[in-house]
């Protein structure tokens, strides 16, 4: 199975770039399943229902989120209407929406996708992400109820992300980090067969500070005083993500490589998909 994960869409330039390019990528690369993190898609803060639906219409099978999931208040309502929309699974019991679900890939495979949020340097601090993942895996083991299992681990600290990867190694197909908006150089297959990358990067303008217009973040670092609001940068976007090939026989990863398309960062498409 060919799976593509795209990192956090930031603002209009990021989401439009994904909408424009994703249908062609699905066709050209013969993708079976696509996950997109959309928590920064609405001006850098949260996601609206219209943006969610446009992302699904462009070809995403699931939209994951993170700590900004509720920034647009309508998300509290529309999250209940769409099973392709995930918020972190380790929110307390009774939180609206869902944190994981099973979906069907284009090749017929059953794909369990779970959204988990880390706790180190993160706000709000949610329930234990490791216990949340254990409960999900116990309820739906790989190659029993699911042919592939993917975790979007939304977290700040790379140490927490790496430990989470090792925690589910051999029990999940793929663990990908989001939140820090900078693509890491550690795409690998762990000892037990789980594909791992600390951060997929963002889909947005890289002439920025994490997708935000750089002037206000820079001002706050220098002066410690706000002059205005953070605004999403509006220059040309680079699409960043990671591609994984998953064995139909074992549900574990066979190949992993980053995907980057656009200005500023060196463009790359996984060689095994060319």
**What residues act catalytically?**
68
Distance CA 202, CA 234 (A): 14
Tokens of 206: 């890289």
Contacts of 137 (CB under 8 A, 6+ apart): 149, 168, 171, 172
Tokens of 123: 């706000």
> Residue 50 phi/psi, 5° resolution?
-60, -40
Distance CA 82, CA 61 (A): 11
For the chain, what is the total number of helices (H) and then of strands (E)? Answer: 6, 13
């Amino acid at each position: 199975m060919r799976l593509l994960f795209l990192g956090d869409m930031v603002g209009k330039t990021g989401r439009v770039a994904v909408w424009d390019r994703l249908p062609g990528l699905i066709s050209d690369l013969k993708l079976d399943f696509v996950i997109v993190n959309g928590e920064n898609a609405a001006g850098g803060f949260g996601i609206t229902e219209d943006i969610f639906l446009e992302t699904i219409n462009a070809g995403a099978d699931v939209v994951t989120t993170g700590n900004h999931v509720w920034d647009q208040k309508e998300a509290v309502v529309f999250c209940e209407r769409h099973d392709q929309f995930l918020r972190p699974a380790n929110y307390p019991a009774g939180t609206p929406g869902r944190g994981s679900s099973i979906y069907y890939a284009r090749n017929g495979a059953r794909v369990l996708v779970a959204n988990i949020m880390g706790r180190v340097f993160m706000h709000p601090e949610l329930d234990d992400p490791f216990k949340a993942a254990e409960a999900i895996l116990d309820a739906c083991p790989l190659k029993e109820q699911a042919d592939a299992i993917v975790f979007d681990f939304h977290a700040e600290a790379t140490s927490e992300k790496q430990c989470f990867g090792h925690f589910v190694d051999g029990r999940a197909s793929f663990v990908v980090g989001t939140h820090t908006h900078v693509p890491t150089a550690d795409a690998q297959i762990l000892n037990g067969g789980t594909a791992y990358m600390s951060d997929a990067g963002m889909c947005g303008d890289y002439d920025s500070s994490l997708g935000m217009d750089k002037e206000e973040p820079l001002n706050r670092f220098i002066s410690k005083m706000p002059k205005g609001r953070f605004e999403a940068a509006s220059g040309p976007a680079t699409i960043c993500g990671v591609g994984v090939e998953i064995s139909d026989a074992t549900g574990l990863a066979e190949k992993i490589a980053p995907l980057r398309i656009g200005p500023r960062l060196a463009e790359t498409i996984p060689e095994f998909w060319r």
